[in-house]
Chains A and B, each alone.
Chain A
Amino acid sequence: METVSVEEGFRGRLSSLYYNILKPILANKRATVGLFILLGFILMATIGPILVPLDLTMRWSERFKPPSLEHPLGTDYAGRDIFQQIVHGSRDVLTIAFLAASFATAIAVTIGTLSGYLGGIVDYVLMGVTDIFLTIPQLPVMLMIAATIKVSDPVSFSAIIAIWMWAGLARAIRAEIISLRQKDFIEAAKVLDLGTGHIVFKELMPNILPYIVINFVTMMRVAITASVGIMFLGVAPLSATHWGVMLNMAMFAYGAIYVPNGIHYALAPLLFIVLLEYGAVNLAHGLDEVFNPRLRRYE
């Protein structure tokens, strides 16, 4: 019998990872575009603040300067460099997005799987609760909660956003689990008496993993919108450089947009928000096309 060394085994798994997952993803244009955009932003959020120092001293004589070599995106109402703020702000935005999506995914997967796998009254109750969360719109509720409870750190802020985000994914996961539950290999696992834990984690989960990843990306995007929106209204000003706060300042304070040169103070965060969301949306759609063959249409 041939044995395989540990290294060969490892290399084998890596190459299968490459061929099965990375290659088709990279072959899909939308996914690649989205992936690179997101990677760019992640880079900006992680390394950016280290490379680009944040200088928040107010120099009123420098206010609303147009983009130049010294200030790539111009200056804001207090003469501070906008580019620095964007870079530092990206860290806030991405942290919140990531945390919120993580929380929401965790909740959604738990509830969806329990509901789909156990069925019966558990399903009925859980789905009833989910439907209520689905009907009540996300933004007003989060705004109200954020306005009432003192939100001081990104984690609790992300939690608030996550609370109203999980409902859609939970329903979808439940549907997937229900359709998988009836498939043959689950029956086989049951007959072999492999245990509920094993069935759930080793058999069901890998099949819905792509789906979860796609929705994670989508939820990051929703979280970005939500956090920017909340900050935009000045309801929970967590940090001075969050893009939502920048927008708030641009629109409502110091008349930035009404001043001829002040436009870039509003446009810069706008542009980056749109770019980031565009990247996320494309990645999600692209991954969907890769992993969901039904979407591929041939002429």
Chain B
Amino acid sequence: MKPGKIGIYLAVALLIMGFSYSGWQAFVHSSDESANSDVEVIRLAHWQLEPGVREAIDEIAADYMKLHPDVKVEQLPIPGKVWKQWLRTQLVGGNPPDLIEVANYQITDEMLARYFVPLTGYLEETNPYNADEPDLRDLSWRKTFSAELVPEETVHYYSHNLLEYYAVPNAMVTVRVFYNREIMKAALGEDRAPQTFAELIETCEALQAYSRRTGQPILPLAGSIFNITKMTASFFSGTTQKLAINLDYSHDLNLTTFEGIVAFMRGRWSLDTPAVRTSFETVSAIGKYMSPGWVQLDREDAMLQFLQGQAAMLSTGTWDAGGILQQAQFEVGAFRVPSISPDDPVLGKWALGPTSEANIFASLPFGMTRSSKHPARVIDFLRFMTSRRSNAKFSEMSTWLPVIKGVPVPKVSEAFRPISDGYIAGLIVQNYGSQSTSIFNQNVYLLSGEKASADAYIAQTRPLYPKTLTEEMERVSKVFHDTVRQKDSVMTGLYELNREAGLAHSKFDIVAAKQLEVEAQKLQAIRAIAEFKAKNEDR
């Protein structure tokens, strides 16, 4: 073969290779497109089986499908008891629904990073489904939410470690005390909800006297750990607000659990600190009116006690409101868990006033999974779902509180409206890590019944807290360590992606700054543990 022919053959071969390469690329893209050309199915999963929620989502989905006939929205309500296993199977199996309800106690940062799409960028764009709302149409999607999705320590829609929004809430929930109006009228002579802690105690006293007088076995409060701890958290918080300001060594009016534990390890507070002791006294004051053995009861038992008229009051989240109103054979009222007044001569010394509920209870947050075949469509549906019009519909049908600015609170939910002009939270001992919660749950019987006693509770649990809180600090330190370590890889990626466009204020810059702050906390934790152990060894 002549050398000239070799060149020609080589040229033809190279051209064929070049075209094949381009053709393959085109084929890959066309395959993706063909998958998208069918009816777009959006599957949405959650565990909210309370009456009204599924119906509201169905209605909103129907509205959306009417607007977009090529889209099908499928709702997958999964019972709470199997949710966790179901969720893991779906995620690991690689074919999860497009939208999943997320909660930070079920979905770790690693799971968010692996299976969910960050929504931060989308939230900074406007929501086109608010185009007819003059006050909302120019706002970013995030700012259309009532509390503008400010990232608090406890929220589900934002990951503090990953620095991204991963979900969009659809409702607000608060904790309220539901009561049987008929029993209340009979016992008090009028339908009057207590406004202060002192009035709550008077109400319990009157209900107990009524039960004795009439011989009816009516308890002032329905009990279960689930229900009562909703109420006690409020008492702990409301009696220790000034203490929280004193312990907040970072001086930002936000005593985090971390700071609270550091302060404990340094001996700045203990169960014997007057404000903390007072908080236990509020629990024992109310615990006197609880049924014996209530600690063993679960959420359903408490609900049944209330619905059957065996208990006059039930403390629970407003997610139960629809069910209560639907099933109760009596008139139901609701009131806020009474706050401790700063004017209360006994309990109010360290109180500022009611604790704000504005932002912490944004609920029913949906995150989008990475495997979604139609991410743009899914985002569009999420925007539709959280438009003012759809959120109003959701709120009206479910009786859950709206989460979008300007959506009216349904009349039936007026008593659930969050306290937005309240004060900072205090020190909630029962929530200082899972072990701390276990100590409280296992010993709260000492704070209930005829012999309820804060002294007895404190004497029993005093020796347990140092070890428990140290272990919690060690756990937290490990979480910080893992987070910081992961960021080293993440930042390398961000550095290479961001450096050509300029690093100032880039995501690399922001993540690097966050890494430094988390690393500082990790080192503080190590330091606090070391000092605490050294101090105890010296004794």
Q: Do A and B come from one complex?
A: no
